[in-house]
Amino acid sequence: MDQGVNLGFIGLKYLVVGSGFFGTVIAERIANDLGEQVVVIDQRSHFGGNSFSAPDDATGIDCHIYGSHIFHTKSSHVWEYINRFCSFNSYRHKVLTNHSGNFYQMPVNLDTINRFFGTAFSPAEARAFVEEEIQRDYFAEPQNLEEKAISLVGRRLYEAFIKGYTAKQWQTDPKLLPADIISRLPFRFSYKIDYFDDPWQGIPLEGYGALFKRMLNQPNIDLLLDTDYFAIRSQIPADCKVIFTGPIDRFFDYRFGILGWRSLRFEKEVLPVSDFQGTTVMNYADEKIPFTRIHEFRHYHDERQYPGDKTVIYREYSLTGTRDTDPYYPVNTSQDQNTYKQYCHLAGQEPNVLFGGRLGTYSYLDMDRVILQALEMYESRIKVGSQM
């Protein structure tokens, strides 16, 4: 990997725009499987996209710069692929939530229900109780996030744990949000506290930063950081294949308007204590608390010896996205979906550009999905094309 060496683009066959998981996997495959030279550019001063992590200067604690990232997958193909570049620790994600000053397990499970209602229900009793709650405000066909959540847990649990958090996180009334957002969150009538059900989970032992470095550190890959595609676009040979993982609306100069994204802001603090909150992620369910959650990164690596007198926390605040903020979550209103369709139509007419990743396809994708989609695109659109 030649970092920051501008070799010029004359004769270049493959350009990857963006060094997140999508771009990095594509580049790694082109370099190692196809045996071809590839240039990767990123407008940021680091590689790894939003999954990047780096050790904090004062403590050495590996921090996920864009918020907590937990690797989890059901795909043996993805797991086998990513394990070629790193080993994972045995971390299993668990989240607590703070409501009215008390701590509860999240997602809502038997412990949350019993603590919230002051009961000692068995799983069957809790199920019957929550069913009664649901029947009080019955929605045969839930039309939005609020109705969907109430139809899953009833109004009282919804108002305590979902309404305020969702309103803060999306800066939108939950009645105006699509129902499917809440489907990402499981509800359980057992004491299971693991956030994810996937068979393979963990955090890269040496951190995401080290993982990306290993994937990109190949003789056939040239990496140019601080390089915006739109500043060098005119230098790219017409027959170069471009894999574009930046925002699709920007690629087409916002011709049909800007796609809606929600953004985030993180406030970092190094505190003179060994342990601030006793867990990696604490959600704050109440609307009057301005941040949505606090991340404490030391807890992602129980296997490491971190300093005993300092810890690093990030408070996470939600922001409405603009052209000048980092896009994090697609808002995906029906207007956004129509606009995206128009951009897709244009994308289909670009003979030498492939669009991928969360920004290129305007979708929320976990890291394993991004890796899988990149591997599929490589096999079906790049490797096949090179052999014709």
- Measured in residues, the chain has a length of 388
Residue written as token pair 């950081």: 225
In angstroms, the CA 10 to CA 235 distance is: 8
Q: How far is the CB of 29 from ligand FAD (least distance, A)?
A: 14
Q: How far is the CB of 181 from ligand UDP (least distance, A)?
A: 5
Whole-number Cα distances in Å, 92 to 21, 58, 147, 197, 339: 21, 26, 31, 10, 38
Question: Can you spell out the DSSP letters for 148-187?
Answer: HHHHHH-HHHIIIIIIHHHHHHHSS-GGGS-GGGGGGS--
State which of residues 27, 41, 65, 377 lies at the interface with ligand FAD (CB under 6 A): 41
> Can you read off the two tokens belonging to residue 25?
């996997």
21 lies in the site for ligand FAD, by CB under 6 A: yes
Whole-number Cα distances in Å, 348 to 44, 135, 343: 27, 47, 9
169 lies in the site for ligand FAD, by CB under 6 A: no
* Catalytic hit among 44, 56, 62, 188: 188
- When the beta carbons of 241 and 295 are compared against ligand UDP, the nearer one is 295
State which of residues 4, 83, 190, 230 lies at the interface with ligand FAD (CB under 6 A): 230
Q: At what angle are helices 367-377 and 21-29 packed, to 10 degrees? A: 30
**Stretches 13-21, 94-102, 150-158, 213-221: which one binds ligand FAD (CB under 6 A)?**
13-21
Q: How far is the CB of 111 from ligand FAD (least distance, A)?
A: 22
* Catalytic hit among 262, 300, 306, 343: 262
State which of residues 16, 65, 358, 375 lies at the interface with ligand FAD (CB under 6 A): 358
Q: Map the footprint of ligand FAD across residues 84-123, applying CB under 6 A.
A: none
Q: Residue 147 catalytic?
A: no
State which of residues 14, 27, 62, 69 lies at the interface with ligand FAD (CB under 6 A): 69
3-state secondary structure of 356: coil
Kindly give the residue spans of alpha helices, DSSP state H, lying in 225-333.
229-232, 248-251
Q: Cα-Cα-Cα-Cα dihedral of 166, 167, 170, 171, to 10°?
A: -170
Q: How far is the CB of 319 from ligand FAD (least distance, A)?
A: 12
Name the site residues for ligand UDP (rule: CB under 6 A).
97, 106, 161-162, 165-166, 169, 181-182, 184-185, 283, 285
Chain contacts with ligand FAD (rule: CB under 6 A): 17-23, 41-44, 49-51, 66-70, 228-230, 245-246, 264, 328-329, 357-359, 365-368, 370
Q: What residues are annotated to the active site? A: 184, 188, 262, 293, 316, 364, 366
